[in-house]
Each structure stands twice: as C-alpha cells, then as structure tokens.
Amino acid sequence: MAGERNPPGWTRREALQSMALAGAAAAWSPRALGRGQRRIGVALAGLGHYSRDLLAPALQLTRHCRLAGLVTGSPDKLPEWQGRYGIPDRNVYSYDDLHRIADDPDIDVVYIVTPNHLHKPLALVAAAAGKHVWCEKPMAMDAAEGAEMLKACRDNRVQLAIGYRMQHEPNTRRFMAMAKERPYGRIVKLRADAGWFGWRDGADGAWRLDPARGGGAMYDMGVYCINAARYCTGMEPLAVQAWDETARRDLFKGVDETIRFRLEFPEDIVAECVTSFGRNLNTLQVDCERGWYGMSPFQGYEGNRGRASDGTVFEPQLGARPRMQAEQMDQDALAILENRGPRVPGEEGLADLRVVDAAFASARADGKRVEIAQG
Ligand code: NAD
C-alpha cells in the first residue's frame, strides 16, 4: 500500500495541509465539547511516516483528543515538531526517560508508533507510568509479548487499544455486522490479500527488512488479512497452513517478502490470504451460500469501497485521509472519557499474533498444518 511507504521529508503540500488542519483545530471552541468534557492528551512515540503524515494531522481533526507530547530517539526532529504543534519542552521525552511521563499531567495516552520490536518495551513503561496505551499494529513481535502488554495494562488499570483503523471505518463495520446477520447465508470461503511493492533500489537500512526490528510483510500487512478474516467471520481460526514465497532473497534476509496462507475456521470456512512486499494487493471477498460481498481497497487510508452479488454498493465513507485516523482516536479517547473499553482492545491484537505465530511455524515447516492457540 503506497500509504505505508516512508517519504523522505515534509513536502510543501503536506506542510500546507498540516497548517490548514491546525487552523481548523484552533477554530474548535471548548464549548463545542460536552459540558465538563476535556480533551485527552496524546503523546506520539515514534515520529516517522505514520505519526508525521497521518496521526499528527489527524489529531488536529479530533474533537476529544489533542497532540500534547512527543517521544523520540531523534532530537533533531523536535524543533520542527514542537514549532508546528506548539509542544513545550516539558512534554517532550526520549525513549530512555519515558518513565518521567508519570509526572506529566498533560499526557493521558502514549500512542506507540515505532518499529514493531519497540511496541512491547514502550508499552510496559507507559503502563507502569499510569498512562493509557494506544499501540500500532502489529501489537508486538509474538503472542507472548502481546500477553505481557495486556497484563501490564490490566495491572496498572490503564486501557490498551490497537491501531486497527479499519475497524472504525463504516463499510468495514457493516461487514463486521454481516458476520452475525449472514444476509447471503452461510459463509463458505473468504479471500483477503494485502501488500505493497517496496524497495526497488535496495534496502537502505530499512527496519521493515530487519528481522530483529519486526520486519517482513506478515507483520506489516498480513495482520490486515488475519484481522479481516476474523472480523468478517466473527470467529477465531483453528489452524493455519503457510508458505513463504519470497522471491527477492537478496533483499529479504530472515524476513518474508511474500507469504501465502490458509486459515481454517469453524463451520468449514476457509480463508485464503496473501501478504506481500513484492506486490500491491488490497482485496477482500466473502463467498456465501447465496451470494458474495467484498471490498477493494479494503485497508486503504481512504476510498475503501465494495460491492455485493445482489448489486449492493458500498460507497467510500469518512472522506479523505486522515479522517479514519481521527475517527479512531476520537473513539478511543471517548472510551477513556466514558470509562468503557475501547472498540479494538489489546485482545484483538493478541488474537492476531496467535495466528501470526502459527503461520510462521507453518511456513518454517513448508506449509505443515499448525493448530492455533485459543485464548
Ligand atoms: P517509520 O520508519 O516511518 O517510522 C518509525 C519511527 O521510529 C522513526 O521516527 C524512527 O526514527 C523511529 N525509530 C526508533 N527506533 C528505531 C529503530 N531501532 N529503527 C528504526 N526506526 C526507529 O515507520 P512507520 O511507517 O511510521 O511505522 C511505525 C509503526 O506504525 C509500525 O508499527 C507500523 O506497523 C505502524 N503503521 C501503521 C499504519 C496503519 O495504517 N495503521 C501505517 C503505517 C505504519
């Protein structure tokens, strides 16, 4: 998916867009919020592509939260970020001194947007500091790490929400409802493909090609297939077979470029999936006894649209990026303000990681059927 790539810097267009969004946010009057409601203060941890181009601009559109802090290992980025978003020095942290955030009354949430190997360690520090944790997908490197994060958040009585933005998108929410309603009868088969073509000109030290930092297509895009297969069926898969079909072995050393996998669900439902860093893939289809429905794209930042066999059309919802991320963060902020669980809790990330663990085990054994641990 093009949106997942890492552009070199702020373009003029992005800068203007970001200034316009900041202006729109400034126009919000506190009176527009419910009486007594405050905005949730969010600290972004990791100031790369997704934070810079999607989440920070989206925070300017939210009604219930605001960008209140920065956590980074790259102090050189701070002048631009602090200037752009008006973040004072007292709300700025490095990864090493993040524990100090416990004493920062301006911050309610640490949103972890770093390479995947840092999700768990940063979540543990944030939770111990008494801050709610929002964490990007994949939740962690494996299910054991995910379980540790859940425990830490429970023990410290803070929320843990996973950044599965699609679960906040209305067409996707309709598909989730259809898992129960079954308007086309029993689900027979499902197909979910998610990928983007990367690295035409070499690796350039990219963490997405590094096994130690959580690289590979499965962690990055395969979790969209797994999550979609789970939310479209409303069930947990029982077993998986996976095949590593990496073609560019010179680039992909110890990480997967392409994995094809097959999930077995209860009721004999099968999900066929492909995830890749070598092909642009963005399709979801659900085949049922009496028809089908699908979306393509199904995990884009915008324009997610679909059709069904009876002529039903699912028009794109929410508008242009970064509306989906704004909706996600507003929902997660409301969950905190109203003291109820988030829409996409840590358990969702953990369930996907159980599938990822089993898929990697199967791929290592040339497609051997591996049963998936049940929660
Ligand atoms: P990125 O490479 O653009 O940014 C990563 C940031 O982490 C950089 O600011 C980098 O300086 C910092 N960092 C800290 N320690 C690092 C280390 N050891 N190696 C490399 N960078 C390090 O990545 P990104 O695209 O912003 O992705 C960050 C996270 O967000 C990932 O978990 C990714 O899966 C997730 N993400 C989610 C979506 C989505 O649609 N939900 C989209 C893109 C990325």
CATH topology of domain 166-371: Dihydrodipicolinate Reductase; domain 2 (3.30.360)
Q: What is the pLDDT of residue 34?
A: 54
Residue 241's alpha-carbon distances to 139, 147, 195, 372, in angstroms, are 22, 24, 19, 10
Tell me which of 49, 54, 81, 114 to substitute to probe ligand 1's pocket, judged by most ligand atoms within 8 Å of the beta carbon: 114
The CATH number of 2-164, from 1.20.1110.10, 3.40.50.720, 3.40.50.920, 3.30.70.420, is: 3.40.50.720
Name the DSSP letter for residue 168.
G
Q: How confident is the model over 130-163, as pLDDT tens digits?
A: 999 999 999 999 999 999 999 999 999 999 999 9
According to the model, what pLDDT value does residue 35 have? 46
* pLDDT at res. 36: 57
Q: What is the DSSP string of 213-268?
A: GT-SHIIIIIHHHHHHHHHHHTS---EEEEEE----TTT-SSS-SEEEEEEE-GGG
Q: State in Å: Cα 136 to ligand 1 middle.
A: 9
Rounded CA-CA distance 331/120 in Å is 23
Q: Which atom of ligand 1 is nearest to the CA of 299?
A: 40
Yes or no: say if 42 and 67 are a contact pair by the CB < 8 Å rule. yes
Ligand 1: residue of 113, 168, 325 to mutate (most ligand atoms within 8 A of CB) is: 113
Q: Residue with the nearest Cα to atom 9 of ligand 1?
A: 48
Nearest atom, ligand 1, residue 47 CA: 9
Q: What angle do CA 67, 72, 78 make, to 5 degrees?
A: 70
Q: 72-79 — which CB contacts under 8 Å span 24+ positions?
A: 72/45, 72/46, 72/47, 74/47, 77/47
Nearest-atom index, ligand 1, CA of 52:
26
Which residues fall within 8 angstroms of residue 131, CB to CB, at 6 or more apart?
A: 43, 101, 102, 107, 108, 109, 110, 158
Can you give the residue ranges of every domain in the chain? 2-164, 166-371
Residues in contact with ligand 1 (CB, 6 Å cut-off): 4, 6, 46-51, 73-74, 113-116, 118, 136-137, 163, 165, 207, 213, 220
pLDDT in tens, 55-73: 999 999 999 999 999 999 9
Q: Report the nearest atom of ligand 1 relative to the CA of 117.
A: 18
Residue 257: name the closest of 285, 222, 283 by CA: 222
Q: Which residues of the chain have pLDDT under 50?
A: 1-32, 35
